[in-house]
Structure 1
Amino acid sequence: MLVENRHRIGSMIRLNTTLLLREPGPVASRLIMPLVLIGVLHPLYVAALSGAGEGAGTTQIVSGMLVMFSMFALSIVGSAILTERSWKTWDRLRATPSASWELLVGKAIPALGVLVLQQVVVLTYGYVLFGLSIESLGLLTIAVATWVVTLLCVGMMLGALARSHSELAVYYDIGGIILTTLGGALVPLSLMPGWAQTLAPLSPGYWAMDSYRSALSGDVGSLLQNSVVLLALAAVSGAIASWRITRGWGRNKLL
């Protein structure tokens, strides 16, 4: 049984990795754009947050761009499922002996590699070129792992619920901008209007930003609190995605 599981999951991983490599544009943009914006905007953030402590500007710009463009990377995760639906091949996958969790894992692993690569590249870029302060590599690893798992689960949920690629684009374009802005990725929460600060905890970006700040500063308690919230969101999103892909779609209504 374990051998059969590994074979089916491995086949799905190879297929989805091939699809990603054939269309490298979305992956490349999610890797390159945050680096460009960090390089251009870093002096502005350092000057604006000079009174908030040493390294505050660097932490803000690196964490903010990382959270923003990792949320845009939801398109990569969601499209992996939505493309199968639009090709009308998802029902064929469901008709195979593969369990729903095997299908999701096979879709998630290549996207996981992209998200982890993005996190590593952006954080290394900030550390090497701009002196990003990292108190504990272990805590930062926890923050990265928690946020990546959350993104995977939310992305799979969106891919399972969206009716078309244009609808999915609305989720990660408009939704991504709103949630990252409310989360304090572009502007520190202390500089935002009162109503925005009140709504900020509704955004996953808020908890991700606080998680990265806590990891970079070595605040274990705050990191664990943020991780619990993000993992709860991941669990709910993953459950919805798993439930939805086992139900099929009415082809006269969707896609």
Structure 2
Amino acid sequence: MSGILKTSIARKFAMALSGLFLVLFLAQHFTINFTSVVSPDTFNEISHFMGTNFLVQAILQPVLIFGVVFHFIMGFVLEIKNNKARVVKYKNYNGGANAPWVSRNMIISGAVVLAFLGLHFYDFWIHEMQVKYLQGDMSGLNAAGEFRYYEETVAKFAGQPVRLGIYVLSFVFLMLHLLHGFASSFQTVGFNNKYSKGLKVFTKAFAIVIPLGFAFIAIFHYINNL
């Protein structure tokens, strides 16, 4: 792997592919989470399937974790390499005149998203691992004999304004990260044809709608349980 990623082009290409992979996960994750707003029963059923299916747990989940770690490590590597490559720095250089803030500060938005993922993993993934593998409870049921996923999700936001604020702020930074990263990923892998203009519109819409959708879900569960 280290040999393959020795060149700058290879690193950027790998970064773009991992980013596109994570975008697919975001779309799937949002679709599942949004069912918690419209149908708690559907959310419970899908969550139980995702949490107990062997293919998801043993194959897709490790691949996802690797993708997240790889993407962020590669992002930091590219940032370090880019900084070292800037031998000549102009004293009066105005970065904003050459590139928008989001493209010049991907490392900042990425770092915030990474910190948020740590909280999100603590809130949900670690809890699931404890229940399923430490406590040995694979049923997904609560004390009343009902699926527990919806009530546990709601409990993270009900009466939790600080956690809600952190989640919403993190989704704003996710939006900023996607506004540049999603579109540039396609450019990096060489997607440049008559559909490029339409694809750019789609990536911008996705970058805005999906993070706002996640924020809406969190706010909905907070307000709905005041």
TM-score of the pair, normalised by structure 2: 0.32
**Greater Cα radius of gyration, structure 1 or 2:** 2
> Highest relative contact order (Cα 8 Å, sep 6+), 1 or 2?
2
Q: Which has the higher helix share?
A: 1
TM-score of the pair, normalised by structure 1: 0.29
